[in-house]
Amino acid sequence: MIFSDEIIMATIEEVLQKVTEYNPKADLDMIRLAYDFAESAHHGQKRLNGEDYIQHCLGTALHLTRINMDEATIIAGLLHDVVDEAGVSMEEVEKQFGKEIAELVRGVGKLGKIKYRGIERYVENLRKMFVAIAHDIRIIIIKFADRLHNLETLDVLEPAKQLRIANEVLELYAPIADRLGIGDMKGELEDIAFKYVEPDIYTTVVEMVEPKLKEKELYLDTIRNVVEQHLSETGVIPIQIESRVKHLYSIYRKMIKNGDSLTLDGIYDLVAMRIIVQTVADCYATLGILHQYWKPLKGKIKDYIAQPKPNNYRSLHTTVFCEDGEIVEFQIRTKEMDDESKFGVAAHWNYAESGKQSQKIVKKLDWLEEILKLNHTPGVDYQEYLHSLKLDIFQNRIFVFTPKGDVINLPEGSTPVDFAYYVHSDVGRRCSGARINDILSSLDTPLNSGDVVDIIIEKNRKRPSPDWLEFAKTHNAKARIKAQLREEH
């Protein structure tokens, strides 16, 4: 998405209308009361761009409505700065709006107190951040919305502050948003931050992409009619067929992954066609219909329904040669899958039990549980904690399979040793080799997504090799290897 510099003023009526659209039972009077309270608290305060401070509160709340958040989160979004920026006491917030909302406001305030100076210098604050997320996941979601609105008005700050805030977003908030599956917000955070972190490259990418977008979108308008006709002939009635423009920062990351030069060669999903259908069966039927009429590119069919991404993203992707030999990517999913890709953990929020819902979501986040375990593990040092964070949050993940078809989620670059210790500490201790896709492989072989891994066990083996520490990637494997070696001594 390419952003303009135009700032649109938000209103409380717009916030209320958005909330009503997805949560008709929301207490609109309480949301309006929170707005009145925030407006009174911030009265006379101006932001650096000259607008009334209340605009930031409204902008934050409006971003939260776009991912269908509950009324408590919207209220906390409106109030999130009244304590730190307007001098209102936390006791007054709790008296007026209750303990739940006061806790959300307090949590967001804590996240905003420390100036970011790079991940290496931020470890202790990261600990606090993940404890806050575990307490109530809505705290970090409000912070995403707060940061997104701040980015949209970043032009008025001096360059050094712009760079610090944009780097914080790219290195910290966007990866966490990605792990929580909030795809739309993650993409917007990255795109605006990209503009400030790499302004020259950003301009170059925009200039390369813009003419291609117009041309591609015109072409896809004609393809949409062809797709609708083919689907209707076979009885598949789509809910929606739309074009999806790839985010600028994702385009840039793909460019540098493909090579050192900035080129759009090999990027076929600049604009993709997204087909929303009724059922999972319709997803696969649609894939078959597309392949019946157009030839797919080899290696470009991805089934994220059978094998979801670590953030629970589900969809079918295929890239085909369409009319006149034009290459087009199609994404096929149900409405539920589409909501999950946009809203992530907020996709199916239970508005009647928002607090309990937050805790249920936290319990399902395995990566967060592993990080929190480190907080309570004696002797975990700074470097170890940082290494674990980088693997679990800030690095790409891969999917590998056991011979029985169980899916195991590991950091990119993991080896059979990491796989073995993920299965069980005794499997790790006794492993002597591995078959990767039926090929005998050494224990230091990097695994790739889709690999089937069968660990070869040496029954009489009593301890792991110290050499494994050199190529094991995960905190789990390293910690268990060290513990087993200590036991042996």
pLDDT at 388: 61
Closest CA to 132 of 105, 156, 150: 105
DSSP state of 463: S
- Cβ–Cβ under 8 Å, residues 180 and 312: no
Domains 199-342 and 396-488 belong to one CATH topology: no
- Cβ–Cβ under 8 Å, residues 262 and 208: yes
> Please, what is the Cα angle at 63 between 170 and 180, to 5 degrees?
50
Each domain of the chain, given as residue ranges in start order, spans 12-197, 199-342, 396-488
10-residue mean pLDDT profile of the chain (489 residues): values are 56 96 94 97 91 95 94 96 93 95 92 64 69 85 94 89 89 86 92 94 90 85 90 91 89 78 77 94 96 91 87 92 89 95 83 77 74 64 60 68 81 90 90 92 89 90 89 85 80
Task: Quote the pTM value.
Answer: 0.79
CATH 1.10.3210.10 fits 12-197, yes or no: yes
275's enclosing H/E stretch is strand 271-277
Q: How far apart are CA 267 and CA 14, in angstroms?
A: 37
Q: What is the CATH number of domain 199-342?
A: 3.30.460.10
> Please, what is the Cα angle at 462 between 461 and 465, to 5 degrees?
80
Q: Buried b / exposed e across 430-454, counting CB within 10 Å, b at 16+?
A: bbeebebeeeebebebebebebebb
Six token digits for residue 330 = 């199609």
| 3-class state of residue 126 by DSSP | helix
Q: What is the CATH number of domain 396-488?
A: 3.10.20.30
